[in-house]
Structure 1
């Protein structure tokens, strides 16, 4: 099934997109993936399953990969968009890439002759980009990476996506790859209530029902922990990566010198020439309402 959008986008505005996601880590990656697929501005070239450490499972990448395939099946897009396996674990150091079919796909897509701009959104650790760059540095000038990750400027702090591969983060931060960072204090802001999802997501096809139910189930499981959410809300943090590619949020970022990350995820500031785009604001209303609207347009009654 090829998606039929209700409006046209000028071809010169469209971009190629690769999604790299630790999809089964929790419950909002799934929303970001579906949002991206439903966005006509994007030509989704493939989706890479990422690992999320070994805190809950020894097979986190494979679980992410299977979840991606489940989403594509529910959207009847299994034959339209390819899923790839990413690295099974973090890099052991900054010189040793963990190769995977996902990193090989990044290299192939970056080095094609297609003049359409290539972007890759990373919704978990950035392992596969670091591996691709270490193997083929020429990709640096042929793609832009958007990462939902990193702690709060300027000191840094514990942040989950970063924690799952600090070595990879340092490789990319010291590379010449154009990098947009959506840090923790920004990506937490697109908050939803579960009631809102019941009204605006659940009714819209098999995919809407699945998106809603898997979040409800995960929320119930995780709220047995006292340090989790309040019980009736969620942050759609990963959807911010979709949002900044739809609209750059011109006044929502600054160019900052790339920090180096310490083992305890603090920022060291001495790279004065390597600059990255650091977001301080992504519009939650724009992000969430566009996702809800696209689900209704494609799967509404």
Structure 2
């Protein structure tokens, strides 16, 4: 399959893990990686160059993997949409359109989005036909009514949705693109312990050290300076992007070990609330649980193989 990766690499370091995992997965062709923006004045990167910073960090990760000449990096917009009708003609949005409209390949195309939806929304507004030529796998959105309880302190708009609520409205409300949604209650299941990171990530060469240190710098640095003690766990909430694409079953290909239902795609409000689906709403996948055993064991083993120099697929020798 082809997987376009779109993430805010200057924010939460869970996306660093997702990028490494995707690039170490030989069943996936990555046409390009998009570095996208965060919310305005985000506490992890409050600058006006968030997308540029994301590309810089992604470039460092790609370089650590020895793939600088194999994985194109594209900068997304530095700001979110201001209109439901007007796209932002960023390099990333144009690249999505170009890849989706290709006629020289039959490989299915997924957009793996671990942040806001600015680029895919703009791409849809630029060329609506791409809605029928790709599938969006999105980490974001709050819990759906009747599926689970809100987490403690979980009121208000969900983090990724808040990056660009207008873009999310464009995607959910105005185009028939297939959506596989991993909402907050599900991505919170993707939790690892500090002991795991110390034993199975940190010792795995420069890549493992970078990944572990990226969490240390946040948890033991910025958060502690602000008086927040996160304990001994961390949520790697973007990792389902790999599980639901690269790790599909061989026969009747699907994310067969993760649980989802198909529901009429709800409408989204500006404040992130789900509304009733229209009478002709297309179905979307709503995931209720993900196979964390397969997802994290696969990641740890691929990372160890890379550190040993025995990885498969596109990787260069180390």
- Fold agreement, TM-score > 0.5: yes
Whether 1:152 aligns to 2:143 is yes
Whether 1:130 aligns to 2:131 is no
Residue 300 (structure 2) aligns with: 292
Residue 244 (structure 2) aligns with: 244
Aligned match of 2:278 in 271, 281, 288?
271
Aligned CA distance change for structure 1 residues 284 and 251 (closer, same or farther; 3 Å):
closer
Runs of 4 or more consecutive aligned structure 1 residues displaced over 6 Å after TM superposition = none
Looking at structure 2, the residues matched to 259 and 225 of structure 1 have their Cα atoms a distance apart, in angstroms, of 38
Residue 234 (structure 2) aligns with: 234
Check whether the contact 1:259–1:267 (CA below 8 A) recurs between aligned residues. yes
What stretches of structure 2 of length at least 5 have no aligned partner? 147-154, 249-254, 310-318
Whether 1:50 aligns to 2:36 is yes
Check whether the contact 1:223–1:231 (CA below 8 A) recurs between aligned residues. no
Superposed CA RMSD in Å reads: 1.6
Looking at structure 1, the residues matched to 101 and 297 of structure 2 have their Cα atoms a distance apart, in angstroms, of 35
SS in 2 for 1:121: strand
Looking at structure 2, the residues matched to 289 and 179 of structure 1 have their Cα atoms a distance apart, in angstroms, of 26
Aligned match of 1:41 in 19, 27, 48?
27
Check whether the contact 1:253–1:280 (CA below 8 A) recurs between aligned residues. yes
Check whether the contact 1:54–1:60 (CA below 8 A) recurs between aligned residues. no
* Post-superposition offset of 1:70: 0.8
What stretches of structure 1 of length at least 5 have no aligned partner? 1-14
Check whether the contact 1:194–1:216 (CA below 8 A) recurs between aligned residues. no
Residue 265 (structure 2) aligns with: 258
SS in 1 for 2:30: strand
**Number of paired residues?**
286
Residue 64 (structure 1) aligns with: 54
Looking at structure 2, the residues matched to 115 and 223 of structure 1 have their Cα atoms a distance apart, in angstroms, of 49
Looking at structure 2, the residues matched to 194 and 96 of structure 1 have their Cα atoms a distance apart, in angstroms, of 44
* Post-superposition offset of 1:257: 1.6
Residue 73 (structure 2) aligns with: 83
TM-score w.r.t. structure 1 length?
A: 0.91
SS in 1 for 2:4: strand
What whole-Å deviation, never above 9, does each CA across 1:40-96 have from its counterpart, x for those lacking one? 110111100010022222221111111111101111111011000011111002111
Alignment of 1:91-240 (within 5 A): 91-113=81-103, 114-154=105-145, 157-174=156-173, 175-220=175-220, 221-225=222-226, 230-240=230-240
* Post-superposition offset of 1:251: 5.8
* Post-superposition offset of 1:134: 0.3
SS in 1 for 2:17: helix
Check whether the contact 1:203–1:300 (CA below 8 A) recurs between aligned residues. no
What whole-Å deviation, never above 9, does each CA across 1:152-174 have from its counterpart, x for those lacking one? 00289521000011111111112
Looking at structure 2, the residues matched to 263 and 16 of structure 1 have their Cα atoms a distance apart, in angstroms, of 31
Residue 28 (structure 1) aligns with: 14
TM-score w.r.t. structure 2 length?
A: 0.86
Check whether the contact 2:258–2:291 (CA below 8 A) recurs between aligned residues. no
